[in-house]
Structure formats: structure tokens, C-alpha cells
């Protein structure tokens, strides 16, 4: 009588653990499928300059949003760009605080379509760290990115969206 009870209790505990194991599993799933458009990060030294594919042009559109509670205006200085896969490009975003209080924000990227996400890599990004703005401060923030030339032929347009969320609760 004891043994099924113990085994079943253990099974319940394991399933509780499994619910937390779903988080890394989900990350693997997201990386494989490009769901949610999480972008990648690479080092400049890892780029092979000979692999630029000048025969293809992909249009990259830039979007900028702020989450609720963050009194910032946030916009890309260039709305769209035509790029070659395998080549490094620079883009600029401008952010301005509209409050006298100092505020800190964190930008979270998302790429659409999802299949493009794992080929969209950044060497430099304001989203790598939290951004601190003094009262009414304005700042131009750089972004340096490269699209992997292994990206599917079917993709002709990519939208890169950033949302700035407030970092607070301190």
C-alpha cells in the first residue's frame, strides 16, 4: 500500500519541478522556431567580411515604443533602410525624457517575421544595458546590426521593434 502512494507523491513533486523546467525548454523552443522574435548578439570579430551578399537587398523597418509608466519619447532617426545580408550597418534612435525625475529604462527587442529573428544579430545595442536619463535629458542611441547571409531567400522585409520598459521598484 505504501509504495504507490510514495511513487505517486514523487510524481507530483517531479511535475511541479517540470513546470519550472518548462522555462529553459521554452527558451530552446523559442530559439528553434524564432517565436517572439528574440534577436541574437555577436562580436564584431566573429564577422566574416567576405560573406557579404550584394545580390540581395532586404528592407529593414524600425519601430519604437515605450511601455506604460515610462515618460519617454522614443523614435528611430531613420525609419527604414535597405541592407545587404552579411554587411554591418549602423542605425540611431533618439530618446527624450519628458519628466524632471531621473528615470531608467530597458529596451526589449522583437523581430518580425519570427523566422528572421535568429539571423538578425547585433554587435552593439542600447538594449544590451539599462539606460539612465536625467530629468528632461535627450540622447541619441546607437545600434549596429548584421543580417546573417544564411537567411531564407523568401524574406524580403524585416521589422525590428524596440519597447522601452521602466526599470524601477527601488
Partner 1 sequence: MTQEATHDELGEYQGEHHDHGPAKGLTRWITTTNHKDIGTLYLWLAFIMLLFGGAMAMVIRAELFQPGLQFVEPDFFNQMTTMHGLIMVFGAIMPAFVGLANWLIPMMIGAPDMALPRMNNWSFWLLPFAFTILASTLFMEGGAPAFGWTFYAPLSTTFAPDSTDFFIVAIHLMGISSVMGSINIIATILNMRAPGMTMMKMPLFVWTWLITAYLLIAVMPVLAGAVTMMLTDRHFGTSFFDAAGGGDPVMFQHIFWFFGHPEVYIMILPAFGIVSAILPTFARKRLFGYSSMVYATASIAILSFMVWAHHMFTVGMPIAGELYFMYATILISIPTGVKIFNWVSTMWRGSMTFETPMLWAIGFIVMFTIGGLSGLMLGVAPVDTQYHDTYFVVAHFHYVLVTGALYSIIAAFYYWVPKWTGHMYNETHGKIHFWWSTIAVNVLFFPQHFLGLAGMPRRIPDYSLQFAEFNMISSMGGFAFGLAQIFFLYIVVKTIKGGKKASGQVWEGATGLEFEQLSSPPPYHSFTKAPDIKD
The least CB distance from residue 140 to partner 1, in Å, is 23
The C-alpha cell that represents 96 in the structure block: 527624450
Q: Cell 545600434 belongs to which residue?
A: 143
CA–CA distance, 25 with 75 (Å, rounded to integer): 34
Nearer to partner 1 among residue 53 and residue 159 (C-beta): 159
- Closest CB 72 distance from partner 1, rounded Å: 13
The C-alpha atoms of residue 67 and residue 46 are separated, in whole angstroms, by: 33
128, 66 Cβ separation under 8 angstroms: no
Task: Tell me how far, at minimum, the Cβ of 69 lies from partner 1, in Å.
Answer: 10
* Residues near partner 1 (CB under 8 A): 1, 4-5, 8-9, 11-16, 18-20, 22-23, 26, 30, 33-36, 67, 106, 108, 114-115, 163, 165-167, 169
Give the containing element (helix H, strand E) for 15. helix 2-33
Return the number of the residue (8 or 92) whose C-beta is nearest partner 1.
8
Nearest to 135 by CA among 104, 91, 168, 89: 104
Measured from the CB atom, the residue of 88 and 108 that comes closer to partner 1 is: 108
Question: Please, which residue, 65 or 87, has the CB nearer to partner 1?
Answer: 65
Nearest distance from C-beta of residue 89 to partner 1, angstroms = 25
Amino acid at each position: 500500500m505504501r509504495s504507490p502512494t510514495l511513487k505517486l507523491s514523487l510524481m507530483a513533486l517531479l511535475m511541479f519541478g517540470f513546470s519550472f523546467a518548462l522555462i529553459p525548454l521554452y527558451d530552446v523552443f523559442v530559439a528553434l522556431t524564432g517565436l517572439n522574435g528574440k534577436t541574437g548578439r555577436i562580436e564584431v570579430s566573429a564577422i566574416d567580411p567576405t560573406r557579404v551578399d550584394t545580390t540581395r537587398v532586404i528592407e529593414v523597418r524600425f519601430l519604437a515604443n515605450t511601455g506604460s509608466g515610462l515618460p519617454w519619447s522614443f523614435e528611430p532617426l531613420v525609419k527604414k533602410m535597405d541592407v545587404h545580408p552579411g554587411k554591418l550597418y549602423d542605425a540611431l534612435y533618439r530618446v527624450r525624457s519628458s519628466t524632471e525625475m531621473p528615470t531608467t529604462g530597458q529596451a526589449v527587442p522583437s523581430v518580425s517575421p519570427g523566422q528572421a529573428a535568429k539571423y538578425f544579430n547585433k554587435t552593439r545595442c542600447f538594449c544590451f544595458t539599462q539606460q539612465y536619463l536625467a530629468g528632461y535629458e535627450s540622447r541619441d542611441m546607437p545600434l549596429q546590426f548584421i543580417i546573417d547571409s544564411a537567411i531564407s531567400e523568401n524574406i524580403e522585409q524585416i521589422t525590428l521593434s524596440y519597447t522601452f520598459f521602466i526599470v524601477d521598484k527601488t
